[in-house]
């Protein structure tokens, strides 16, 4: 029964799942896939537009560009100068996930050429590389926040839904308080408590904690509803009649029965966390430079002159949108393929 359901979901949502896999892989192997480090700057190539490789002299080559007008950021090709694109080549040294030291990249070009699939930013950093690292950073941060929030939400919801009485009242009232403050206001309030000038690591932890702190209440509410309806089911009565403890009923009977529903709720709540992280970083309250996240890359194109000089920086916004769409599609697909999602 369960495997069949999972199979249906997999078959129906091949496209979102594939896209998701692409994002995961690009985040996971960012160092290898990116031709440059996220912080390797080239001030002389500020706002260089995308330069795609093309077949030249029978092989894949990239034209060498030079700055023609430093004020308007106009670039032109150096006539006759091309550099070949090499694959699995040795480039800038990196430590993959901080574990293994390596120098191999999927592709790179020799000096003085610079391959820029999606253009460069103000400091001449490669947008394509930064986006790969940014996806990793955003995913790591929002997934940790979702996990914490989910754990707390499920625990609180189960506690409220199965015990009832004053515990239920307490949990629900506290949840209401959190939901009565517009989330961005609360996030900014939490952020204001911490002094400025913290390291990226500290800020990342704070933002993760803040997102989890703000997000648990909605989940708790949903879980409580499901738990309350499951509590009335006959199998719970049966388990109680043979002397299973309350704890055992929660863990062994109620939780497994709502696992699919929880998975749907989890999938549908991820976009809010991704957008939350991106929003905070966009405002300069989240992940800070030089570390890239989808939000602070987008923040680079906040002014009209920047947007006009380097419209490709808006691509990070499109990446956010596509991640959100993929999770929404997946969640909807999962919900529709089973009535478990409609139970409460």
- Other CB atoms closer than 10 Å to residue 179's CB: what's the count? 15
22 binds other proteins (CB under 8 A): no
Contact positions with other proteins (CB under 8 A) in 305-334: 307-308, 311, 314, 317, 320-321, 324-325, 328-329
Determine the length of the chain: 344
177 binds other proteins (CB under 8 A): yes
Which one, 18 or 302, has the nearer CB to other proteins?
Answer: 302
- Taking CB under 8 A as the binding criterion, the range among 60-68, 103-111, 160-168, 272-280 that sits at the site for other proteins is 272-280
- Which of 2, 173, 241, 342 binds other proteins (CB under 8 A)? It is 173
Cβ at position 27, least distance to other proteins in Å: 19
Indicate the DSSP class of residue 78.
E
- Which of 193, 199, 241, 342 binds other proteins (CB under 8 A)? It is 193
185 binds other proteins (CB under 8 A): yes
In 15-58, DSSP assigns E strands to 54-56
Distance between CA atoms of 317 and 299, rounded to whole angstroms?
10
Tell me the CA distances in angstroms from 2 to 9, 235, 266, 282, one per residue in order.
11, 18, 18, 41
Applying CB under 8 A, the site for other proteins has a residue count of 44
Cβ at position 65, least distance to other proteins in Å: 25
Coil, helix or strand for 181? coil
- Taking CB under 8 A as the binding criterion, the range among 75-83, 133-141, 168-176, 246-254 that sits at the site for other proteins is 168-176
180 binds other proteins (CB under 8 A): yes
222 binds other proteins (CB under 8 A): no
- Which of 33, 140, 186, 309 binds other proteins (CB under 8 A)? It is 186
198 binds other proteins (CB under 8 A): no
Q: Which pairs from 102-111 meet CB under 8 Å and 24+ separation?
A: 102/31, 102/32, 104/32, 105/32, 105/33, 105/34, 105/35, 106/32, 106/33, 106/35, 107/35, 108/35, 109/35, 109/62, 109/83, 109/84, 109/85, 110/83, 110/84, 110/86, 111/83
199 binds other proteins (CB under 8 A): no
- Taking CB under 8 A as the binding criterion, the range among 24-32, 44-52, 107-115, 275-283 that sits at the site for other proteins is 275-283
Q: Which residues face 116 on adjacent strands?
A: 51
151 binds other proteins (CB under 8 A): no
44 binds other proteins (CB under 8 A): no
Which one, 61 or 277, has the nearer CB to other proteins?
Answer: 277
- Taking CB under 8 A as the binding criterion, the range among 57-65, 71-79, 83-91, 280-288 that sits at the site for other proteins is 280-288
20 binds other proteins (CB under 8 A): no
CB 137 within 8 A of CB 39: no
Placement of tokens 């919801």 in the chain:
157
- Residue 151: φ, ψ to 5°: -60, -50
Which one, 98 or 196, has the nearer CB to other proteins?
Answer: 196
> What is the maximal distance between C-alpha atoms in the chain?
86
- Name the helix (H) or strand (E) containing 84: strand 74-96
Which one, 249 or 294, has the nearer CB to other proteins?
Answer: 294
b/e sequence 217-253, b meaning 16+ C-beta within 10 Å: bbbbbbbbebbbebbeeeebeebeeeebeeeebbeeb
Which one, 179 or 205, has the nearer CB to other proteins?
Answer: 179
Placement of tokens 């709720």 in the chain:
265
Contact positions with other proteins (CB under 8 A) in 248-267: none
Contact set with other proteins (CB under 8 A): 173-174, 176-177, 179-186, 188-196, 271, 275, 278-279, 282-285, 298, 301-302, 304, 307-308, 311, 314, 317, 320-321, 324-325, 328-329
């Amino acid at each position: 029964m369960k495997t069949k359901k999972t199979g249906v979901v997999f078959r129906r949502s091949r496209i979102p799942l594939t896209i998701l896999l692409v994002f995961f892989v690009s985040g996971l192997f960012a160092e290898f896939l990116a031709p440059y480090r996220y912080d390797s700057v080239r001030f002389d190539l500020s706002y260089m537009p995308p330069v795609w490789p093309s077949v030249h002299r029978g092989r894949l080559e990239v034209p060498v560009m030079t700055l023609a007008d430093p004020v308007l950021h106009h670039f032109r090709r150096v006539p006759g100068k091309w550099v070949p694109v090499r694959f699995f080549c040795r480039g800038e040294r990196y430590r993959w996930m901080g574990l293994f030291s390596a120098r191999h990249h999927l592709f790179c070009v020799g000096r003085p050429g610079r391959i820029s699939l999606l253009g460069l930013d103000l400091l001449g950093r490669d947008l394509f590389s930064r986006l790969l690292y940014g996806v990793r950073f955003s995913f790591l941060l929002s997934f940790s926040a979702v996990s914490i929030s989910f754990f707390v939400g499920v625990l609180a919801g189960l506690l409220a839904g199965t015990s009832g009485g004053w515990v239920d009242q307490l949990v629900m009232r506290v949840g209401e308080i959190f939901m009565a403050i517009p989330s961005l206001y609360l996030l900014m309030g939490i952020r204001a408590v911490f002094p400025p000038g913290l390291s990226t690591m500290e800020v990342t932890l704070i933002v993760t904690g803040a997102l989890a702190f703000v997000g648990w209440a909605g989940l708790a509410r949903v879980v409580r509803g499901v738990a309350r309806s499951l509590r009335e089911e006959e199998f719970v009565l049966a388990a109680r009649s043979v002397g299973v403890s309350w704890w055992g009923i929660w863990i062994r009977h109620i939780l497994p029965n709502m696992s699919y529903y929880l998975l749907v709720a989890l999938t549908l709540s991820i976009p809010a966390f991704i957008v939350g992280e991106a929003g905070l970083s966009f405002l300069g309250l989240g992940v800070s430079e030089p570390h890239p996240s989808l939000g602070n890359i987008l923040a680079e194109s906040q002014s009209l002159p920047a947007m006009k000089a380097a419209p490709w920086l808006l691509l990070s916004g499109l990446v956010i949108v596509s991640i959100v769409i993929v999770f929404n599609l997946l969640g909807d697909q999962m919900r529709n393929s089973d009535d478990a999602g409609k139970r409460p």
